[in-house]
Amino acid sequence: MDRRRLLAGGGCAVAAVLAGCFGDDSDVTPTASDAGPGERTPDSTERARPEQPSADGWTQARQDSQLSGTAPGGVPADSQLTRSWEIDLSPPDEFRPEHITPLRATANGQVYVTTVTRQDDPEGVDDSIRVITLARIVDGTLERRIHARVDPLLSGTGLSLVDLAVTDDTAVCSFRTNSLSTDGSLSGELVTFDLSTGETQYVEDRPGGGPITVSGETIYVGTVFEQGGFSTEDGTAGVAAIETQTGTVRWQHELAEFSFAGETYPPSSMRPAVYGGSVYVSSPDGIHRLDPATGTSTVITERDGPCLIDGNRGLLYVLGENEIAALDLTLGSASVAGAVTVEGTPRGAAVSDGTLVVTTDGSIAALDVPAGQTLWRHTEEAITSLPSIAGDTVYYLGIDGLRCRSLSSGEGVRSSPVTLWDDTDQLPESVSREPVVADGSVFVRSGNAVLAIEATDSS
């Protein structure tokens, strides 16, 4: 099967950490962010229209190309939360957080996840064959599994899954092979699954290993690479653009050098965000703005950290250690439009209707960053996930399970018990980093189990 069929989006784009189809950036009005740094255009105050769901609808959790973390729908925050189903995907091996990807869900509630299993060599010679398995769950039933064999790997090589993107016809999984202990190499790669035929394609030299974002007919994926041979040279991390129709690597851009020596999870570029004809990626030296056609890069600020974009206001939010800054992308120069200090290191954020919601290890807060205001804030222990927004409801995970609050008021907190991993040392890794909302349910992962929590109006 050729790459065109495997990567064709069927009118939708595949997406990073990915959950159904996402809005197409062709529905974005050009803004002054298309101009070079410091340049202005006559329509420099014009804002890009918000990205809209496609016919099938992207669902949420950083699934649109602006990484907003929002989804259509939602129910009142005082709704009852009840578990509707749970399914165990346990492989033969014990649970390892690096062997399972984030959950992805389509607008009609189909859930996708990939896991790694070890496949014994029938001749008993090679113990390093790996299989990446894509599972599709419908209404709590494991409807289908598709297996992709990844080999040959040197004996002792580790394989860790990073991200998953899903469309109607195709799923793309980004992963890393780690042979640092054997030959000093590390590589980021991709494997694709054809959801209609069950066929898979693994191209060893296709770059990957980082989070995925899809915009239009392009996959933007973080990359990692260490050449091996125990070279004294550092490894590299960056971003690549891959055409969905052909699988062709349009460009690959290195953003930073790292020393991978002995590190199981080497750093890579943060998830790319797309807005107004440019790609934005965080790196240790700041936020890069890249030309989507050529990969040409310009550093627009020395601030670094995960980023997401408010398309309604033309703002790029940068999540620093104790401060969140908003950069105005509509004027070309990416000037600072405001900043808010937060207590603790942000776990992640989501934005809707101009309100940025951020979770830390000990609090959740709603912010108006350009105004420098905290709209509401609540101290909570053991928050383990990024927030996700659907309608006027904010969903996030704590040690007691799924929690939700009203976006507008911050009140109405409810929680639904979720079976958490017994080993508290692994708790942050063993449960979902982001709850996914689709078709009236919230989907989360706990260890190797996938759970659906139904939110119903308590009235």
Q: pLDDT tens, 74-100?
A: 656 566 778 889 888 876 555 666 788
Report the pLDDT value the prediction gives residue 183, as an integer from 0 to 100.
65
Share of the chain above pLDDT 90, in %: 19
Is it the case that residue 307 has pLDDT exceeding 70?
Answer: yes
Residues 95-141 have pLDDT tens digits of: 666 788 888 887 778 889 988 876 555 455 555 677 899 999 998 89
Report the pLDDT value the prediction gives residue 104, as an integer from 0 to 100.
86
CB atoms within 10 A of CB 332: 22
Could you tell me which residue, 57 or 438, shows the higher pLDDT?
438
pLDDT band at residue 35 under the 50/70/90 scheme: very low
Is it the case that residue 394 has pLDDT exceeding 60?
Answer: yes
Q: How far apart are CA 305 and CA 347, in angstroms?
A: 11
Residues 336-385 have pLDDT tens digits of: 999 999 888 888 899 988 999 999 888 999 999 999 999 999 998 878 88
Residues 173-207 have pLDDT tens digits of: 999 887 666 666 778 889 888 888 999 988 777 88
pLDDT band at residue 398 under the 50/70/90 scheme: confident
Name the one residue in this structure whose structure tokens are 């260490």.
226
CB 388 within 8 A of CB 354: no
* Mean pLDDT confidence for 443-453: 85
Could you tell me which residue, 299 or 334, shows the higher pLDDT?
299
CATH number for position 321: 2.130.10.10
Report the pLDDT value the prediction gives residue 230, as an integer from 0 to 100.
56
Hey, what's the torsion of the CAs at 147, 71, 407, 310, to 10 degrees?
Answer: 110
| Total of domains in the chain | 1
Domain of 10 in residue numbering reads as: 3-43+50-456
Is it the case that residue 20 has pLDDT exceeding 70?
Answer: no
CB atoms within 10 A of CB 302: 9
Contacts of 422 (CB under 8 A, 6+ apart): none
Residues 206-242 have pLDDT tens digits of: 888 888 887 877 889 998 887 765 555 667 889 999 8
Residues 257-288 have pLDDT tens digits of: 765 554 444 444 578 888 888 999 988 888 99
CB 268 within 8 A of CB 257: no
Could you tell me which residue, 333 or 164, shows the higher pLDDT?
164
Which of 52-56, 113-117, 136-140, 425-429 holds the top average pLDDT? 136-140
CB atoms within 10 A of CB 98: 17
**Which tokens sit at 299?**
């550093």
pLDDT band at residue 60 under the 50/70/90 scheme: very low
* Nearest one of 363, 406, 434, 453 to 83, comparing CA atoms: 453
